[in-house]
A and B are shown apart, each in its own frame.
Chain A
Amino acid sequence: DGGITQSPKYLFRKEGQNVTLSCEQNLNHDAMYWYRQDPGQGLRLIYYSQIVNDFQKGDIAEGYSVSREKKESFPLTVTSAQKNPTAFYLCASSKTSGEYNEQFFGPGTRLTVL
């Protein structure tokens, strides 16, 4: 089955700790994205990557970091510098070539800071 997997589904963190959220895709997509979702708001872009070993900041990158060492993987680290990290985090991927390159989403990770 082709798709996007995110782990863990639920994550609890103490204040001051860094945590890493996993995102893997086997769709052979070049581009991968991380979004944050808060209640009543649209998805906000944290980071995106269109090719291995390259990534760009989105609208709300402060307090987050990413890496893209493999095409299939795009992990997100929520650092202690992120002031309000409790949220639902969504990973997405898409093709970059051609006209039709919709984004497809993983099942999400809910992060709660205790």
Chain B
Amino acid sequence: GQQLNQSPQSMFIQEGEDVSMNCTSSSIFNTWLWYKQDPGEGPVLLIALYKAGELTSNGRLTAQFGITRKDSFLNISASIPSDVGIYFCAGRNRENYGQNFVFGPGTRLSVLP
């Protein structure tokens, strides 16, 4: 079956630093989503990617759809305390696996003041 891996599992950074995380798949996807989840809350959609090589920004966040279609990357610039949370990636290949997404285990981000 499909599996997603996220790296790193957790990270501690200083406020103001840039952050990079990635998501890799054992199979090809044609849609990637990135979510952020605060403790005790539902995930909030940050960025959606639909084409290989696509680079999309949302404020200080930038995500890229890897050209191999087996990976995606999320960067956060100039981190602030409210960036703390768990970042999930989700991928889908509608042609092969239908409508449903598969989710990664998440990257837990901590921002130190």
Chain A interface (Cβ within 8 Å of chain B)? Answer: 4, 6, 31, 33, 35, 40-43, 45, 48, 50, 58, 88, 90, 94, 96, 99-108, 110
| Interface contact tally, CB-CB below 8 A | 52
A33–B43 alpha-carbon span in the complex (Å)? 14
Given contacts A99-B50, A100-B50, A103-B101, contact A43 B42 (CB under 8 A): no
Given contacts A96-B99, A99-B50, A102-B48, contact A41 B42 (CB under 8 A): no
B45–A102 CB distance below 8 A = yes
B-side interface size class:
20 to 34
Contact of B4 with A by CB under 8 A: yes
A40–B88 alpha-carbon span in the complex (Å)? 11
Task: Give the segment of B57-65, B75-83, B103-111 that binds chain A.
Answer: B103-111
Contact of B41 with A by CB under 8 A: yes
B105–A106 CB distance below 8 A = no
